[in-house]
Structure 1
Amino acid sequence: MSATTPRARARARTMEDIVRIGRDHLAVHGAAALSLRAVARDLGVVSSAVYRYVRSRDELLTLLVIDGYTELADAVDAALAPDSADSEAPARRLRALGVAMRDWALAEPARYGLLFGTPVPGYHAPAERTVAPGTRVIGALLRILGNAYRAGLLGEPDPLPPVSPALAADLARIGAEFDLALPDWALVRGLSVWSGLIGAVSAEVFDMYGADTFTDRAEVFDRQLDNLCALAGLGDAPNG
């Protein structure tokens, strides 16, 4: 059936409403307490009607995961879009990516928690549906490093860190997945930057610092970005 038919458009609107209500319930009740019956009630239909669109709570969680990853990645893409060349000012681009991720996470803490927080008991995200949207942001980060490396702007460690054959094979697979020609040391740095960025954002979203520890958390995050740029091999200049 064509996506332009009235029935298809009505179904698309209903799916959008289900995801929107699911977001609201996620923010209020948390992922583990999501209920299709409650979604049906707020949608104004009997519970059996919702099952024609969403088969189970896990299916609703998957829709919310995809929705969250997609919106986060769109926010990052928008933050990077003003720069026409990825190879120019890579540290500035890496910082823009980090700030966009932090801003989205602080605005959407429940959805960020679904993506990067404690796993929902009994739920396993289907890789065939969630990997593509879920790797868009780390893909953008690795492309920043890849373009910096090709432009000669990525500092090389001396000596080079040891990499086992097993890890080298994993890194080759990751490089192929993102269509990157990065040496092993640069990919390892990229993974370290990614995990450090998630840690920095999560510490703030989940209030791991404590309420009275820092006066200006944005400045704390700015200094963390300095360190992540240096870790990536981009030096410690904020706009390098």
Structure 2
Amino acid sequence: MAEAQQGPRARYREQTRTEIKEVALRQLAEGGVAALALTRIAKDMGLSGPALYRYFASRDDLLHALIRDAYDDAATAMEAAAARSAAASQSPRERLHALAAAYRAWAVGAPHRYLLIQGAPVPGYVAPADTLDRARAVLGPFLPVFADGTPASGVSPVVAQMAAWLGADAGVGGWVAGYAADAADDTDAAARALAGALLAWAQLHGSVGLEAAGQFAGMGHSAGTLLDAQIGMLADAFGLG
């Protein structure tokens, strides 16, 4: 509906921005961020350099858009996995495995996009502030999985720190409430949810990041099997059934 209400000029501008991003993603897939060059994009599209700068003011501006899109697509993949788990009435442990598998599938399906949002893509680059909310949207579906868990002593220090974080930052409580409403007014449950999501992110970033960067080549194991084992241990640490 919104697109239908746009004028021809606005639609053309949006279509051109989309095409620029598509060309940029091809460059990223071929050679990483080092290969991303606005002048090369302009040449590939038959545009002059000044013409391209009417759509993206700088390489950082283009990176902002690509990073936002990557986070949004990852969040969509996680939301879809959470919905499938809910429809199948899966247990918390099953939901955790399903979410981890969905995250891995998204990342290894487009490793150049995954690597773009994990760490600074280029020295000195500062991501826009709104990527924080987008990153939280990716992790959000993990929160309700852990809210009713029974953390083992080994992870209790993380839970305690999350409880302190809740007390210090009201925005964190709002994040939890958006995904685990039943935990919103229960500090202990919210702290468990946050601790579990944080540990899940660390496990995923470690295993999936190594796989996406090609670091598992020649190591004689399946990256999916490794991640499954790691997630199983995390589920055990929170007593998920």
> TM-score band (shorter)?
0.7 to 0.9
Q: Tell whether the 8 Å contact from 2:60 to 2:125 is kept in structure 1 after alignment.
A: yes
Percent identical among aligned pairs is 37
Q: 1:20 deviation in Å?
A: 0.7
Tell me what 1:203 maps to.
Answer: 210
Q: 1:163 to 1:207 in 2, by over 3 A?
A: closer
3-state SS, counterpart of residue 53 of structure 1: coil
Tell me what 1:112 maps to.
Answer: 114
Q: 1:35 to 1:163 in 2, by over 3 A?
A: closer
Alpha-carbon RMSD: 2.8
3-state SS, counterpart of residue 81 of structure 1: helix
Structure 2 CA distance for aligned equivalents of residues 79 and 191 of structure 1: 18
Does residue 221 (structure 1) correspond to residue 219 (structure 2)? The answer is: no
Does residue 36 (structure 1) correspond to residue 28 (structure 2)? The answer is: no
Higher helix share: 2
Structure 2 CA distance for aligned equivalents of residues 231 and 96 of structure 1: 17
Select which of 108, 122, 125 maps to 1:123: 125
Structure 1 CA distance for aligned equivalents of residues 27 and 154 of structure 2: 51
Q: 1:188 to 1:116 in 2, by over 3 A?
A: same
Q: Tell whether the 8 Å contact from 1:69 to 1:115 is kept in structure 2 after alignment.
A: yes
Structure 1 CA distance for aligned equivalents of residues 38 and 196 of structure 2: 42
Superposition pairs of residues 32-181 of structure 1, within 5 angstroms: 32-84=34-86, 88-117=90-119, 119-128=121-130, 130-146=131-147, 149=148, 154-157=149-152, 161=156, 168-172=163-167, 173=169, 174-179=172-177, 180-181=183-184
Tell me what 2:237 maps to.
Answer: 231
Q: TM-score, normalised by structure 1?
A: 0.82
Structure 1 CA distance for aligned equivalents of residues 6 and 61 of structure 2: 25
Q: Tell whether the 8 Å contact from 1:93 to 1:144 is kept in structure 2 after alignment.
A: yes
Q: TM-score, normalised by structure 2?
A: 0.82
